[in-house]
């Protein structure tokens, strides 16, 4: 996974899992219907990550809600 040096987001554990490709990455919680993209959430710090087939990018909760609204509707 690619390292986005402009954004430090999440804890050391989820950054290591997302950026290094070492498992486990943050847990997958949703799949985008127009994917293949995936929403992951760190079980330690709660950070959201947007994964595609090549990259992992930390995103805000607001961005996660706009990309994966059904996940947030189901988990109110």
Comparing CA positions, the residue from 9, 19, 5, 23 lying closest to residue 58 is 9
Domain limits, the chain: 12-74
Is residue 47 within 8 A of residue 9, CB to CB? The reply is yes
Residues 38-68: tens digit of each pLDDT: 999 999 999 999 998 888 899 999 999 999 9
Residues 5-31: tens digit of each pLDDT: 434 688 998 888 888 877 666 788 888
Distance CA 26, CA 44 (A): 9
Judged by DSSP in three states, 21 sits in coil
Residue with tokens 């992951």: 40
Is-above-0.95 flag for pTM?
Answer: no
Instruction: List the Cα angle 75/8/49 in 5-degree steps.
Output: 30
């Amino acid at each position: 996974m690619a390292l986005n040096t402009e954004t430090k987001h999440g804890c050391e554990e989820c950054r290591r899992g997302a950026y290094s490709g070492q498992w486990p990455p943050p847990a997958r919680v949703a799949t985008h219907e127009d994917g293949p993209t995936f929403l992951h959430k760190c079980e330690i710090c709660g950070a959201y990550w947007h994964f595609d087939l090549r990259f992992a990018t930390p995103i805000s909760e607001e961005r996660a809600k706009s990309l994966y609204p059904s996940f947030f509707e189901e988990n109110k």
